[in-house]
A and B are shown apart, each in its own frame.
Chain A
């Protein structure tokens, strides 16, 4: 009899990764669960709090699999939290989930798994791994509303070869049904929040940044460079933002259309000023030497896509909402991720 393949499943304590572990066990893998302790102490509220570790452990107990906790706190601080803060200090809009996937879940964890003798790792992400042009690619999950291919766009061939995504073909409703049928205690647990190290409570992001950097007050200018208001901290302003600019009651709604961290100014304009025909990019990469043109471009984790021609810049087919500098642009051919870049 062939020995079972050993797979390490990253279990956050949520319903998705719990079901992933259960499905792989039913498929005949020798499953071990691991929860990554990335952030905070006993009182944290994020996705790696003690209570979530307990959920993951109790799910593992009920499946009869081993469960471990790996403390990747130092790496998380160095590769996710510190760059997040630095980006905000420069007036950029970072995406910490992408950096966490890049450095923690699919680099550090894969290396650890190999060292410990595992054949594969798995996560509960809603995305698929598909064959495309003789290689493996990330493609959208079957549940478009839960699709996470955007935050997995950076995975390399070697990472994809060592990875299984058991939920790729499923809708969230199906996942919850399976959780219930497996009697998993997390079947009805709400979905997790976006940035796991900052709580959802209003004002938390500001409080968090305040502890790490000095926030810079900024002038709010109109398109004619006249000062029309002030904000307490330029680090808290994002392109497209309307609220919190201190301009209410001054006529038609105004939006942040440009942020200059060096000069500490935020320029506001009409909604129409938020649209552009070109987005400057850096760190452009394609999965293949040849790629389609135009491509479909997604500019945020759960955003719609828009058609564009990508050269050294992104030329939108139709005027497109400005992309906040620092955000990732992910290029799709149909459902398949074929490239990415970062907005400048």
Chain B
């Protein structure tokens, strides 16, 4: 892969930040001791992990002791849902548009799903209707992975606290961290999931914030690492890399968001001009699109009369890498449960395109996408596939 790649799939994964690579390689070559051990290299590893915990806690607005390192966002979500279920009775609610890492555990535990409106925002009437004193956990993602739509957790939490005082609140903030001040927006949450590779760290590392005083049953037993909640030798290098990436992300967040939002707006405004195109969850008033409830990196459209797979194939031939809905394990594009929940027809949802920008996206990337996407859509509509 030496040719110039136009990478517009940052919601799937991001390029690794140099700071993360530096931090990681130092650990890999110099600090391979087991962080649970007693000798000085082990103690050094443990110090690095605890420093990383401190760094993460700043970005997450929590106490360092509340940060439990996991092997990624899916594990954090599973731990939040199964872990609280193990120590509490009661029912579970989750947003119908949440990530599969939330939906699948909630389904398995017989939970219910909160509907969203056509703009992807939580239907608060439906939430109120579903809430009662038996609800033990409500899980709502802060930012949707497909559409980039931001939920108002504070409003949601107020309703939950009044109708279901015993309920814990979990938020999957995996997609939010690069773009939003997660520390302030998740103050009402008891459990918060993040994943490193969405903000410039390697894959296979994440964290679950478990607020002090909340009891959680471990999913795997063993050496009792991570306060006994997550046994297993910590991945020192990945944890250190995630903290380095989080640090840069938080420090640069304001600048990145401003820069990327400009590019995204220009890209999205130009795709709006394609006939029969629908920018997901965005209303246009007097020729101006209101994207205030979307993260800066998200440009998500549905185009009538085309199929995402065909469009993505053609974009790839031009080295433009993007996605549609979430990919399943076989690599096929699965029909989007998110768009279905928002009331999009299966046909229209089948013509979705997610161009997700990130910290490394350039104006050149955006210019090329603006030129190529409309051309390909026109060509696919002509050939009728």
Taking beta carbons and an 8 Å cutoff, which residues of A are in contact with B? 35, 37, 41-42, 50, 53, 57, 68-71, 73-74, 111-112, 114-117
Contacts and interface: CB of A to CB of B under 8 A. Distances in A.
A63 B333 CA distance: 24
Given A42-B328, A71-B332, A71-B334, A111 B385 contact: yes
Given A42-B328, A115-B380, A116-B310, A74 B385 contact: no
Given A115-B310, A115-B384, A116-B385, 14 more contacts: A35-B330, A37-B328, A37-B332, A41-B328, A42-B330, A53-B330, A69-B331, A69-B332, A70-B309, A71-B335, A111-B384, A112-B310, A115-B379, A115-B385
A116 B383 CA distance: 9
A114 B385 contact: yes
Given A111-B384, A114-B385, A115-B385, A71 B314 contact: no
A69 B379 CA distance: 21
B335 to A, nearest CB: 7
Contacts of A111: 383-385
B385 A71 contact: no
B254 interface: no
Contacts of A112: 307, 309-310, 385
Contacts, number: 51
Nearest to A35: B330
Interface string B360-382: 00000000000000000001100
Contacts of A117: 317
A68 B307 CA distance: 15
Interface of B: 307, 309-310, 313-314, 317, 328-335, 346, 350, 379-380, 383-385
A291 to B, nearest CB: 33
B319 to A, nearest CB: 13
A116 B314 contact: yes
Nearest to B313: A116
Contact of B333 (A53, A57, A71, A115): A71
16 contacts: A42-B328, A42-B329, A50-B329, A53-B331, A69-B330, A111-B384, A111-B385, A112-B309, A112-B385, A114-B383, A114-B385, A115-B379, A115-B383, A116-B310, A116-B314, A117-B317
Contacts of A71: 309, 328, 332-335
A9 to B, nearest CB: 15
Nearest to A68: B313
A70 B384 contact: no
A70 B332 contact: yes
Contacts of A73: 335
A64 to B, nearest CB: 15
Contacts of B314: 116
Which residue among B309, B317, B331 has the maximum number of chain A CB atoms within 10 Å of its CB?
B331
A114 B346 CA distance: 23
A37 B330 contact: yes
A53 B331 CA distance: 9
Contacts of B334: 71
A112 B317 CA distance: 15
Nearest to A49: B330
A35 B329 CA distance: 13
Contacts of B313: 68, 116
B331 to A, nearest CB: 4
A13 to B, nearest CB: 10
